[in-house]
Amino acid sequence: SAVISQKPSRDICQRGTSLTIQCQVDSQVTMMFWYRQQPGQSLTLIATANQGSEATYESGFVIDKFPISRPNLTFSTLTVSNMSPEDSSIYLCSVVGRTYGYTFGSGTRLTVV
């Protein structure tokens, strides 16, 4: 399966600021996704990162709040903009290759104070 490097692993941020999370994969993958896991909750899909075009967002998530880039087949970024304490969560990158195995990054633990 693919190996994902997700950075930063954790951060504490001031409200009103923005944080960009990076996801680097060691091989070309067909699909890349961004999820959020709020404390004690399951994973919620934020968006599908599309290579070379705008991401596809799920209901309740908008581009202005969570801009996503995917300049190539192995790299994507998620920005959490104008943060508030409600954005405190774990953010996870996920990729899928040819064998239908979905691999997840180790996550970014974000605390907004």
* 38 forms part of the interface with another protein (CB under 8 A): no
Minimum CB separation of residue 62 from another protein in Å reads 17
* 66 forms part of the interface with another protein (CB under 8 A): no
Question: What are the strands, taking DSSP E only, across the chain?
Answer: 4-7, 10-13, 19-25, 31-37, 43-49, 56-57, 68-72, 75-80, 89-96, 102-104, 108-112
Work out whether the CA dihedral 14, 12, 35, 74 comes out positive or negative: positive
* 91 forms part of the interface with another protein (CB under 8 A): no
Task: Choose which of 7, 79, 88, 96 interacts with another protein (CB under 8 A).
Answer: 96
Footprint of another protein (CB under 8 A)? 1, 31, 33, 41-45, 48, 56, 92, 94, 96, 100-107
